[in-house]
Amino acid sequence: MQTSRTAQFLLYHKQSDQLLDVVTEVEPQHLGGGSSANVWTLQSQSGLDWVVKRERLVSSVYYKRILFFNESKFFREVYGKHSAFYFRSADDGSEPSQVVMRRLPGKELSNNETELTTPEDFVNAILAVLYSIKNLHKKGVVHGDIKGDNINLHRQPDGRFAAYPIDFGFSQFVGQFTIGGYADYMPTELKQRIPADFWQDSYMLCDLMNRFVDHYIFKKNYHHLKPLGEFICDNFFSMRFMTGELQYSVDGMIQLWTDYALHHNLTIAVVEEPINALSAEMEQEAARYLKSSFFEQSLERIKRACQWLSQYLSADELKEVTDFIEMARTLTDLQVAILKLLTLSSELSEQPSLKCPRMSFFKEKHAKSVLDRLLEMLPRELLPINLEFLAKPPIAPGVDSCLSF
């Protein structure tokens, strides 16, 4: 399914306000959707993989705005501060809320039916999901909407399974009040707003395992997996509340499945902290691109500054500094190039043509030196901390060098 919609998003690094990426929706691929939103692929300048989640304009704009803001907030909390960007809807509802976020590996657990055919696959898939939610809980986050469509399952090249929760619209930090909303796979207590707690996710994990059995084993007639189905039925269909908590915590479920695997001589191959590993990888990718982008932008600014300064330089001086700039490959090279430009500017003698032709009374107040103008053009992040070694520079030309009426 494709759409003719075209949109472009500018993504900025929060701390430096540097452009992180430009992503465009050109002939996007529809990845999925639900009652409130659709997800589409995006093309990026950086090569990073992004998707956009766009709300359906069919219900309360205010309610959807809350969910989309929450989605962006907790996606960043879980996968890194530059993994998601929220674009607010128009107040009149004419433009939808949108979240641009990194595309996670794998595909929805609900769509893995052709890949999971052995007891080992099933056990590792379930363990991967449990370890993923355990990793999420270590961050103090309650997902609040665990189901097969909201977890990506990925088999890595080394054969290990990793799971990644998605769709954080109903997520909260533990202890904060839940967002109103209820579905049949949720505990009935969530029909009202109550403090978010990990047992709520545990309840939904048990429901997920029960549906796992019903869909993948019984309906698919995987008779060789019948013992696994009976194990799930015996242990998870009978789950009940006990003093406000489920019988098994996530750790308890992990232990139960681990014991099952060992008892049946199944090899366990899962990533135990998939969220931490993926978020670190994505932050490193963003940092590498930012560094590369910063280098290119800084190089262009230095070239423009050199071109402006060329009016005061001899041919030999200009060739020396230009050749060095052209060979620059690292930020250290750029810093050396800047130092060369600053040193040359400090050695310039005062030019007769730089004197203000009229209103000389205001000259000292309004004139700018060659160094001042050069400093305005150069990337300030690469400037040397101490400029006292430079001699007092002469006055540079320009519209600010004297008053005009």
Domain contains 215: yes
Domain boundary among 222, 255, 276: 276
Domain boundary among 276, 308, 333: 276
Residues 318 and 178 in one domain: no
Domain contains 405: no
Q: CB under 8 Å to 45, separation ≥6 — which residues?
A: 21, 22, 23
Residues 225 and 287 in one domain: no
pLDDT confidence of 377, banded at 50, 70, 90?
Answer: confident
Q: How confident is the model at residue 216, as a pLDDT? A: 66
Which parts are annotated binding residues?
A: 53
Q: Which residue has the higher pLDDT, 97 or 126?
A: 126
Residues 262 and 296 in one domain: no
Half-sphere exposure of 272 (CA within 13 A, CB side): 5
Q: Which residue has the higher pLDDT, 38 or 404?
A: 38
The DSSP secondary structure of 175-230, one letter per residue, reads TSBPPS---TTS-GGGGS--B--HHHHHHHHHHHHHHHIIIIIITTT-GGGHHHHH
| Direct distance between the N- and C-terminal alpha carbons of the chain, in angstroms, rounded to an integer | 63
Q: CB under 8 Å to 131, separation ≥6 — which residues?
A: 163, 254, 270, 271, 272, 273, 274
Domain boundary among 224, 245, 276: 276
Residue 279 has pLDDT above 90, yes or no: yes
Residue 178 has pLDDT above 60, yes or no: yes
Q: How confident is the model at residue 59, as a pLDDT? A: 56
Domain contains 2: no
pLDDT confidence of 73, banded at 50, 70, 90?
Answer: very high
Which parts are annotated binding residues for ATP?
A: 53
| Number of folded domains that form the chain | 2
Mean pLDDT to the nearest integer, 290-308 = 84
Residues 300 and 245 in one domain: no
pLDDT confidence of 74, banded at 50, 70, 90?
Answer: very high
Residues 289 and 375 in one domain: yes
pLDDT confidence of 342, banded at 50, 70, 90?
Answer: confident
Mean pLDDT to the nearest integer, 223-227 = 68
Tens-place pLDDT, residues 41-60: 888 888 889 999 988 766 55
Q: Is 109 exposed, middle or buried (0-12, 13-18, 19+ CB in 10 A)?
A: buried
Residues 390 and 265 in one domain: no
Q: Is the pTM higher than 0.85? A: no
Q: Where are the alpha helices (DSSP H) in 241-398?
A: 250-263, 274-309, 315-327, 331-347, 363-366, 370-377
Q: What percent of the chain has pLDDT over 90?
A: 27
CB count, 10 Å around CB of 314? 10
Residues 272 and 354 in one domain: no
Domain that holds residue 383: 278-396
pLDDT confidence of 385, banded at 50, 70, 90?
Answer: low
pLDDT confidence of 243, banded at 50, 70, 90?
Answer: very low
pLDDT confidence of 150, banded at 50, 70, 90?
Answer: very high
Residues 268 and 284 in one domain: no
Residue 189 has pLDDT above 60, yes or no: yes
Q: Which residue has the higher pLDDT, 153 or 244?
A: 153
Residue 355 has pLDDT above 50, yes or no: no
What DSSP element (H or E) covers 235?
A: helix 226-236
Q: How confident is the model at residue 368, as a pLDDT? A: 57
Domain contains 199: yes
Any idea which of 193-197, 207-211, 271-275, 299-303 has the lowest mean pLDDT?
207-211
Q: Which residue has the higher pLDDT, 16 or 279?
A: 279
> To the nearest 5 percent, what fractions of the chain are helix, strand and coil?
45, 15, 35
Question: What is the C-alpha to C-alpha distance for residues 324 and 95, in angstroms, rounded to an integer?
Answer: 50
Q: How confident is the model at residue 54, as a pLDDT? A: 87
Mean pLDDT to the nearest integer, 267-274 = 96
Residue 173 has pLDDT above 90, yes or no: yes
Any idea which of 106-115, 253-262, 312-321 has the lowest mean pLDDT?
106-115
Residues 159 and 272 in one domain: yes
Residues 220 and 340 in one domain: no
pLDDT confidence of 344, banded at 50, 70, 90?
Answer: confident
Question: What is the C-alpha to C-alpha distance for residues 42 and 69, in angstroms, rounded to an integer?
Answer: 20
Q: How confident is the model at residue 346, as a pLDDT? A: 76
Residues 359 and 379 in one domain: yes
Q: Shortest CA distance to 24 belongs to which of 37, 38, 39, 5?
A: 5
Q: How confident is the model at residue 361, as a pLDDT? A: 44
Question: What is the C-alpha to C-alpha distance for residues 293 and 268, in angstroms, rounded to an integer?
Answer: 42
Q: What is the CATH number of the domain that holds 97?
A: 1.10.510.10
